[in-house]
A and B are shown apart, each in its own frame.
Chain A
Amino acid sequence: MNQNLIGLYPRQYEEIPSRLIGQMSDDKIPETALMPSFLSTFGLASLQGTKLGMGESTTSICMYGSYQVVQMDLEGLSLTFVGSTECNTGHILAISKELYPVLLELRTKTEFDASQP
């Protein structure tokens, strides 16, 4: 696993408000990255991106001074990676494909739990 990766958040963003279905992070994570408003921006940004006329975007990569944020849409499930700038972005994109079936299973499980009275 990438040693500079400091957080990973799957989130159900088709629901309003979007529901965080899991998280994995260490102490180095900036507090703002855990705010619901921060994690919900991807849906909006992706929607705005469609105005560029190149179709809907599925992945956004944001580079900041000390951190990078990679957000992706996995069929209605928004997955957010927060890493340091040294973190290998290409590796994040590659491992997200491996995580995809696991996260879909997790989504199905949480949907089932949410539907229980």
Chain B
Amino acid sequence: MEANLEAELYEIMKTDGVTGAILSDEHGLCLLASPDVKPEMAGILSAIVQHASMIDNRNENPVINFEGDSRQCLIKKEGSVTTAIFKKIS
């Protein structure tokens, strides 16, 4: 049932610099996560998207980028699925 989703996650993980990814549903529950990402993060990430979309009503699904010294996290909601991708900064 989740084979398509797993295939997509595998594709994301193959991308250069990507260290982890997590997918959550509209309730903030984890659908799929790469081994080094905690499933509990799904709720927090989807809550961040919910709050961020309140900032600008014209932009319903913004891309959110958290950047640290060595890593960045990109979050985007599409339909009912929120995707977060963790990347190394080269």
Q: Do A and B bind each other?
A: yes
- Nearest CB in chain A to that of B42: its residue: A90
In the docked arrangement, what's the CA distance between A2 and B50, Å? 10
Contacting pair A89 B43 (CB below 8 A):
yes
Please report B residues at the A interface, Cβ cutoff 8 Å: 24, 27-30, 40-44, 46-47, 50
- Nearest CB in chain A to that of B41: its residue: A94
In the docked arrangement, what's the CA distance between A91 and B82, Å? 13
In the docked arrangement, what's the CA distance between A90 and B41, Å? 8
Contacting pair A88 B27 (CB below 8 A):
yes
In the docked arrangement, what's the CA distance between A90 and B22, Å? 13
- Nearest CB in chain B to that of A1: its residue: B47
Contacts of B40 in A (CB 8 A): 90, 93-94, 97
Quick check: is A92 within 8 A (CB to CB) of the other chain? Answer: yes
Listed by A's residue number, 28 A-B pairs whose Cβ atoms lie within 8 Å are A2-B47, A88-B28, A88-B43, A88-B47, A88-B50, A89-B28, A89-B29, A89-B43, A90-B24, A90-B27, A90-B28, A90-B29, A90-B30, A90-B40, A90-B42, A90-B44, A90-B47, A91-B28, A91-B43, A91-B44, A91-B46, A91-B47, A92-B43, A93-B29, A93-B40, A94-B40, A94-B41, A97-B40
